[in-house]
Amino acid sequence: MALPALGLLLAAGLLHTQASPSARSFQLDYEHNCFLKDGAPFRYISGSIHYARVPRPAWRDRLLKMYMSGLSAVQVYVPWNYHETLPGVYDFTGNRDVEAFLDLTAELGLLVILRPGPYICAEWEMGGLPAWLLWKPDIILRTSNPAYLAAVDSWLHVLLPKIKPRLYHQGGNIISVQVENEYGSYYACDHGYLRHLLGSFRALLGSEVLLFTTDSTGAQELRCGTLQGLYATVDFGPGSNVTEAFGAQRRVEPRGPLVNSEYYTGWLDYWGEAHASTSAAWVARGLEDMLQLGASINMYMFHGGTNFAYWSGADYKGQYKPVTTSYDYDAPLSEAGDPTEKLFAIRTVISKFQPLPVGPMPPATPKYAYGWVGLRKYADLLDVLDVLCPSGPIQSQFPLTFEALKQVHGFVVYHTQLPWDVPDPATLGAPPHSICDRGYVMLQKEYQGTLEWDGQTTLHVTGRAGDSLDILMENMGRISFGANTSDFKGLLGNLSLNSRPLSNWLIYPLAIDTAVQQGWPHTALPKSSSGGRVGPAFYTGSFETPGIAWDTFVKFPGWSKVRHCMTGKVVRVDQDPAQSHLHHLPGTAVDKWLQPGPVLELSWAPADPVCAWLGAARWPPQQHHSAGARRGTSHASPALP
């Protein structure tokens, strides 16, 4: 058939024209079991990246590396709790500027598969659901419960209007939108809830956008997680039998494209366990098998990044398993954003099925060794409660939860006094599942030991009537998968001394980040000499930049688990680099439980706050002797045993 020259070029795919918004479409083709993009058969090869886990200055670098890896799309979660921080209070600025992130994906020529939840799992705090939902005593999450649906619809009315103009048929690059997340794995199996969500998504996004679900391949999961009007996709990792896995999808979607929405390139890490790793060859082989079948694939994760601040979630598998600050995921792009051997193995597979973009893969970001940084104790935490809880303590006969205190993240100090002399060791104990999640116990401000959910729940103490008893309670992240996402935090039961309940508590919700954002500590000089007292404390150190804020890695030889709130910003680079200073800006409290030897990443950009992933040390921290210390000012929050 003779084609005009233009037609020949188009047919050969050598000339891409931008279809006008009126002609743009992304649809299912049930006859040919594929997607249609502007009417032509289309298969996507996608990778997951979460903007909330990548410093905004690094977004472009990571997305460009994903594009140069041969991906045609990226899959993006929108964490509800990252944006609606309190009921009706929204934050879409800085790292939370989801529209800027989406516009950057479009600029770089990437399509987007958007997953706005409202629940997203993702090993993210409470699976993306805001903890303030738990302030409503009768709420039942992820069901048709009226209180829950009212909050969901209120949120969707804010978010989805930001998404609609970016839909592919509207001229944007969002080709499909997922409703909920692995709902078939949730106990409720409430199809009325899914129907409500379908109605809300259609009302706010229109009738044309492709809406889908994702579930694992079990029959029960696909029975409870799918719904007429939502295209059902599945998720499975390397080592699965691809034919059987897609056979499961075919049982609910006899026609239409084969889609694996989460092909696991690695896995998540829990505190105290070895870093997960998955063979690159294994990942590449499974990818090739699926691409041979013509399936569309999203690799989960392509770049994992980091759980900044308090955003890491947890699992409950017979015991509470908090997820680490690192979300490296053994992904093709490392936590530091560096291409790995796994990325190049995947890129080679992709090149067998479609042309790779012309040009080199952007290299790993340059790293800089800033040398030793001596850390000095600035203050014991119990000596600065006036700063960290400026409104003063709440008095209560018995302990209150974080939710009752309306404290979402971080730490609460529970203070009382020994009601009687305890000359012989007495058992300080807590009922099962009442330590949520990790309580550091001080008597007369001296560290006695740590109580943990599913860990040690008793301690032996001696003292005199009136001695101060303090428990610093750390929320290590709300459960993000399964039936236990209604994960209340704090002291959920009464502490007892030889089985007699303790009472008359003073309770201090700590606002560490707020204090840091307001410039505390205002000086690095130690606040008070507490001598060798052992307990949670703030340490500070400083180092100098060479005038440019290069990424680096931070290691704390000998430390153990320390939560840090390290903030800073290169606000002024003097002529003399030795004068460049780090000052305080919005803090990011991060934590990292050191296994011997891990290196962590300190990364910032000249115009953005320093986000630091810091190590920890065995308790008490060994005093570091700074060798060639460089000046600057960086502050760390409690060093915890």
Ligand X SMILES: CCCC/N=C1\SC[C@@H]2[C@H](O)[C@H](O)[C@@H](O)CN12
Contact yes or no for 553/600 (Cβ under 8 A): yes
Question: Rounded distance, CA 248 to CA 157, Å?
Answer: 34
How would you write 29-66 as a 3-class SS string?
A: ECCCCEEEECCEEECCEEEEECHHHCCHHHHHHHHHHH
Q: Which residue is nearest to ligand X (CB)?
A: 121
The least CB distance from residue 117 to ligand X, in Å, is 10
Half-sphere exposure of 16 (CA within 13 A, CB side): 5
From the list 123, 262, 474, 601, the catalytic residue is 262
Contact yes or no for 373/541 (Cβ under 8 A): yes
Measured from the CB atom, the residue of 73 and 268 that comes closer to ligand X is: 268
Measured from the CB atom, the residue of 235 and 253 that comes closer to ligand X is: 235
Measured from the CB atom, the residue of 123 and 474 that comes closer to ligand X is: 123
From candidates 180, 262, 470, 513, binder to ligand X by CB under 6 A: 262
Q: Which two tokens stand for residue 489?
A: 């935090």
The least CB distance from residue 482 to ligand X, in Å, is 8
Long-range CB pairs of 577-582 (<8 Å, 24+ gap) are: 577/544, 577/545, 577/546, 577/547, 578/544, 578/630, 578/631, 580/544, 580/545, 580/547, 580/632, 581/631, 581/632, 581/633, 582/542, 582/545, 582/610, 582/632, 582/633, 582/634
The least CB distance from residue 217 to ligand X, in Å, is 11
Measured from the CB atom, the residue of 182 and 470 that comes closer to ligand X is: 182
Question: Rounded distance, CA 381 to CA 384, Å?
Answer: 5
Binding mask 344-363 for ligand X (x = CB under 6 A): --------------------
Q: Which two tokens stand for residue 548?
A: 């440019």
Catalytic site includes residue 341: no
Q: Which residues 103-132 are close enough to bind ligand X by CB under 6 A?
A: 121-123
Q: Which residues 216-235 are close enough to bind ligand X by CB under 6 A?
A: 235
Measured from the CB atom, the residue of 316 and 550 that comes closer to ligand X is: 316
Measured from the CB atom, the residue of 182 and 591 that comes closer to ligand X is: 182
Measured from the CB atom, the residue of 330 and 608 that comes closer to ligand X is: 330
From candidates 69, 173, 178, 181, binder to ligand X by CB under 6 A: 181
- What residues contact residue 523 under an 8 Å CB cut-off, 6+ apart? none
The least CB distance from residue 46 to ligand X, in Å, is 14
Q: Which of 417, 414, 419, 418 is nearest to 385 (CA)?
A: 414
Q: Which residues 577-606 are close enough to bind ligand X by CB under 6 A?
A: none
Q: Which of 568, 527, 508 is nearest to 388 (CA)?
A: 508
563 membership: H or E segment, kind and range = strand 561-565
Q: Which of 187, 231, 181, 26 is nearest to 111 (CA)?
A: 26
The least CB distance from residue 322 to ligand X, in Å, is 14
Q: Which two tokens stand for residue 85?
A: 């921080």
Measured from the CB atom, the residue of 231 and 370 that comes closer to ligand X is: 231
The least CB distance from residue 237 to ligand X, in Å, is 9
Measured from the CB atom, the residue of 119 and 414 that comes closer to ligand X is: 119
Unique residue bearing structure tokens 């020259």: 5
The least CB distance from residue 164 to ligand X, in Å, is 24
Question: Rounded distance, CA 601 to CA 364, Å?
Answer: 13
DSSP letter string, 624-639: P--SS-----EE---B
Residue 607: how many other CB atoms lie within 10 Å: 11
The least CB distance from residue 265 to ligand X, in Å, is 11
Q: Which two tokens stand for residue 529?
A: 């000499």
- What residues contact residue 17 under an 8 Å CB cut-off, 6+ apart? 10
Measured from the CB atom, the residue of 230 and 582 that comes closer to ligand X is: 230
From the list 84, 123, 180, 182, the catalytic residue is 182
The least CB distance from residue 264 to ligand X, in Å, is 7
From candidates 84, 180, 182, 253, binder to ligand X by CB under 6 A: 182
Q: Which residues 443-502 are close enough to bind ligand X by CB under 6 A?
A: 481
Catalytic site includes residue 182: yes
577: three-class secondary structure by DSSP:
helix
Unique residue bearing structure tokens 């991060």: 590
Measured from the CB atom, the residue of 181 and 560 that comes closer to ligand X is: 181
The least CB distance from residue 275 to ligand X, in Å, is 15
The least CB distance from residue 61 to ligand X, in Å, is 24
Q: In this structure, is the dihedral angle defined by the CA atoms of residues 554, 560, 563 and 564, taken in order, positive or negative?
A: negative
Question: Rounded distance, CA 26 to CA 16, Å?
Answer: 16
Binding mask 126-165 for ligand X (x = CB under 6 A): ----------------------------------------
- What residues contact residue 445 under an 8 Å CB cut-off, 6+ apart? 380, 382, 468, 470, 530, 533, 535
Contact yes or no for 297/290 (Cβ under 8 A): yes
In 304-419 the beta strands, taken as DSSP E runs, fall at 314-316, 320-322, 376-380, 394-396, 411-417
Q: Which residues 265-284 are close enough to bind ligand X by CB under 6 A?
A: 268
Q: Which residues bind ligand X (CB under 6 A)?
A: 121-123, 181-182, 235, 262, 268, 481
Active site amino acids: 182, 262
